[in-house]
Amino acid sequence: MRRLGPLLIERDPVPSASWVLLVSVGAVVAALIAAAGVFWAFGINPLTAYAAILTGTLNTRAAPEIFRQAVPLLLCGVGLIVAFRAQFWNIGAEGQLLMGAVGATAVALFAPLPAPALIPTMLAAGFLCGALWGVLPAVLRLRLDVNEVITTLMMNYIALFFVGWLIHGPWKGQESFGFAYTDTFPRAAWLPLIGGTRVNWIGLALGVMLAGGLAFLLARTRMGFEIRVLGQNAAAARYAGIDPLRTALGAMMISAGAAGLAGVSEVAGIHHKLLAPDQVSLGYGYAGIIVAWLARGSPLAAILTAVFLGLIYSSGDVVKVSLQMPFRVTDIFNGLILMFLIGSERLLPYRLRWAAERPAGSQAGRDPMVPPRPDTPASRGDGPVRGQEGGR
């Protein structure tokens, strides 16, 4: 228990949602302040920089860009939440996205299907390709205990070079300006955009529906229950008769499939062809980790965090044009935000209260070695800063 002016900071194992929000926002703000240091080191006044970013991204013409970026981020992020809840560290969303794009491209360019069937088939193919790309690391981890962080990451690089091979080799289309890409998709395979913007509404709708659907899955279904138990305590999951292989594999395939959908959204919605991997994905698979982490495990919250990350990506363009800094600056933002988020976790299990109160029989921060008397109920956290409460 520590005193901070008129406030008291106490341990609380069950923090309230508002405290979690406060800490998360605080971490992001701290990261942005740290990023200001980078601007300053470049000789740019950070305040000018942030002002330029805000005006550049939030005006009516540019605002849709935020949502254009948010779509793949949401699709990746929401899937990653499911994987992370199962304690499966899927760092391979980037590669799964690319493979989803490959699947969609294959359907668009080579499948002899009638026009109305193209888009649904592309989506299905993209989901499937993404999901399958996640199977190998999942099986290796579940059967041989091989660290999935490394294997999913390796799969990213393999997917990267695979796409490179395709666009330079068997799927090579026209080549212009030194870039390589496939032929353009037939019109029927173009995802429709919201007028005047680069936001494809199918991707957006899918993202939001997936967020809702996965939120329901986790909270209210048997599979969601199994994923949560597995993620919190693998030993107890086995004890409860939950099959870790089936459950984790299921979670992983959902996650990888969602990333695959992001890939479809990109190639069918924005580019209408398969391009160099670093143009298909601007690191959405990695940024999706931040979307998931910032959402603190809630798929619905991911909608908001995806929009926030979309803002950051959108600012990358502004930074490039107005401030003459490379787009890479977004990686610095992302890296700092993630760092600060991880660092701020230590602050989560606490709560604030006014020092004037004297809680009676409080169990906060009790010594785990000494069991509390059975007749004293453990008190819960009821929220952060409160007004004058009458005792507790």
Asked if 3 touches other proteins (CB under 8 A), the answer is no
User: Which is nearer to other proteins, 5 or 377 (by Cβ)?
Assistant: 377
**Which 48-87 positions form the footprint of other proteins (CB under 8 A)?**
none
Q: What token pair was written down for 331?
A: 């990686």
Please tell me whether residue 302 adopts helix, strand or coil conformation.
helix
Asked if 370 touches other proteins (CB under 8 A), the answer is yes
Candidate residues 376, 382, 385, 392; the one interacting with other proteins per rule CB under 8 A: 376
User: Which is nearer to other proteins, 119 or 312 (by Cβ)?
Assistant: 312
User: Which is nearer to other proteins, 80 or 122 (by Cβ)?
Assistant: 80
Distance CA 117, CA 124 (A): 11
Asked if 280 touches other proteins (CB under 8 A), the answer is no
**Which 111-140 positions form the footprint of other proteins (CB under 8 A)?**
136-137, 140
Asked if 186 touches other proteins (CB under 8 A), the answer is no
User: Which is nearer to other proteins, 175 or 345 (by Cβ)?
Assistant: 345
Q: Nearest approach, Cβ of 370 to other proteins (angstroms)?
A: 5
Please tell me whether residue 187 adopts helix, strand or coil conformation.
helix
Residue listed under structure tokens 């992370």:
84
Rg for the chain, CA atoms, rounded: 23
Q: Nearest approach, Cβ of 326 to other proteins (angstroms)?
A: 5
User: Which is nearer to other proteins, 57 or 151 (by Cβ)?
Assistant: 151
Q: Are residues 274 and 166 in contact, defined by beta-carbon separation less than 8 angstroms?
A: yes
Asked if 339 touches other proteins (CB under 8 A), the answer is yes
Candidate residues 336, 351, 353, 384; the one interacting with other proteins per rule CB under 8 A: 336
**Which 290-309 positions form the footprint of other proteins (CB under 8 A)?**
293
Q: Nearest approach, Cβ of 192 to other proteins (angstroms)?
A: 33
CB within 8 Å of 131: residues ≥ 6 apart: 96, 253, 254, 256, 257, 260
**Which 200-239 positions form the footprint of other proteins (CB under 8 A)?**
220-223, 225, 228-229, 232-233, 235-236, 238-239
Give the containing element (helix H, strand E) for 273: none
Asked if 43 touches other proteins (CB under 8 A), the answer is no
Candidate residues 2, 187, 346, 358; the one interacting with other proteins per rule CB under 8 A: 346
User: Which is nearer to other proteins, 168 or 386 (by Cβ)?
Assistant: 168
Please tell me whether residue 223 adopts helix, strand or coil conformation.
helix
| Window of 161-169, 197-205, 294-302, 384-392 that interacts with other proteins by CB under 8 A | 161-169
Q: What token pair was written down for 310?
A: 């979309």
Closest C-alpha to 165, from 276, 242, 17, 22:
276
41 CA to centre of own chain: 29
Q: What token pair was written down for 176?
A: 């212009």
Asked if 358 touches other proteins (CB under 8 A), the answer is no
Q: Which residues pair with 71 in a beta bridge?
A: none
Candidate residues 332, 349, 357, 383; the one interacting with other proteins per rule CB under 8 A: 332
Q: Indicate if the alpha-carbon torsion angle 48, 50, 53, 56 is positive or negative.
A: negative
Half-sphere exposure of 343 (CA within 13 A, CB side): 12
Q: What token pair was written down for 115?
A: 């026009």
User: Which is nearer to other proteins, 61 or 145 (by Cβ)?
Assistant: 145
